[in-house]
Amino acid sequence: MSDAATPTEEAMPGDAAGAGGTAKEPRHFARMVTIWLVLSLILDPLFYFLVGPHVPPGVMTSTAEENQFDFNVLMVIALPVLLGVWVYLAYSIITWRASRAGVAEPVGGEDARTHMGAQTAWIVITSFIVLCLAAFGTYELIDTNGAGGGEGPNPIWKPTSAHILPIQVIAQQWTFTYRYPTYGGFESTTLMVPVDTSIAFHVTSLDVIHSFWAYQLSIKADANPQVDNVAFTTTNHTGSVTVRCSELCGLWHGAMFNYGQVVSRSAFQNWAVATEKATASNTKLLPPFAWTYVPDANGADGGYYPATDPYSPSEVYGAKQPAS
């Protein structure tokens, strides 16, 4: 072993071998660490500043922005770990390849297994990373915008905005409907949201468990029957939104999606007022606005909608056909 190397450099796997005893063997571990450090210092900022702004789910809302930041932090931590594996692998393949004559065999097996420095470093470094991530994750979950998940009927985190627009999301097999309680409780099959506004999504279900996943808004909240699951966000940019169900809910779960828009405040106001007026006669037939609904509240046929069509297409199979 060469002169005063640091403890971890001594007898690391791949370090100077004892058998040949050549004093000229380079300090492989120090070389690997140097290559790894340089690559990490170059690639981490490159990733963060060049790729980071394009990482899903984008920046349409406050929660999307926070989630993008979280993903980027995770990637900045993960990238050096990945580089560590790749550098070790590449260095080993190049340095100790069989076709390279006269190279001393690296120390491995029993010698490496009992190396106190390697074991201590492994336990300390991995524990440190995991504990830091646990603290970071807990902080991000509680403190920043409620993280975009449903917080149940009594959210612990609430936005500080003076005005919060409530939008009710009603899931059922196999569609989402949106109800706007501050505009007479009308219903829409398109999710319309004003920009620069704090929104409270009140997510519920009429039948089985669904999940409201508005990808670009970075909102994902379970839709449970008889539960008002609240999720907050603040919209920062206009754009298109795709909504999907993310909880297996039956035969047509995969077809349970629709679309939405984040539009200017004036466009939203115009749309809401016009739709409230245009759908007034339909709204009268709906159950009065409530935070949850009993599925058969509207009639004996067990349907949420008025009994104009007693057998929906999904109920026709096996059911007694109505007399026509």
What are the residues binding Cu ion (CB under 5 A)? 210, 245, 249, 253, 256
Q: How far is the CB of 258 from Cu ion (least distance, A)?
A: 12
The rounded distance, in Å, linking the Cα atoms of 108 and 59 is 48
User: Of 223 and 286, which has the nearer Cβ to Cu ion?
Assistant: 223
User: Of 192 and 243, which has the nearer Cβ to Cu ion?
Assistant: 243
User: Of 83 and 241, which has the nearer Cβ to Cu ion?
Assistant: 241
User: Of 192 and 249, which has the nearer Cβ to Cu ion?
Assistant: 249
Q: How far is the CB of 217 from Cu ion (least distance, A)?
A: 18
In 190-278, the DSSP E strands lie at 191-194, 198-205, 210-214, 219-223, 229-234, 239-245, 257-263
> What are the C-alpha distances in Å from 11 to residues 16, 87, 119?
7, 19, 13
Q: How far is the CB of 244 from Cu ion (least distance, A)?
A: 8
Q: How far is the CB of 229 from Cu ion (least distance, A)?
A: 14
User: Of 95 and 242, which has the nearer Cβ to Cu ion?
Assistant: 242
Q: How far is the CB of 303 from Cu ion (least distance, A)?
A: 18
User: Of 174 and 186, which has the nearer Cβ to Cu ion?
Assistant: 174
168 beta partners: 179, 202
Q: How far is the CB of 250 from Cu ion (least distance, A)?
A: 7
Tokens representing 185 are 């409780």
Chain position carrying tokens 């926070």: 66
**Half-sphere exposure (Cβ direction) of 313: Cα atoms closer than 13 Å:** 3
Omega cis (within 30) before 57: yes
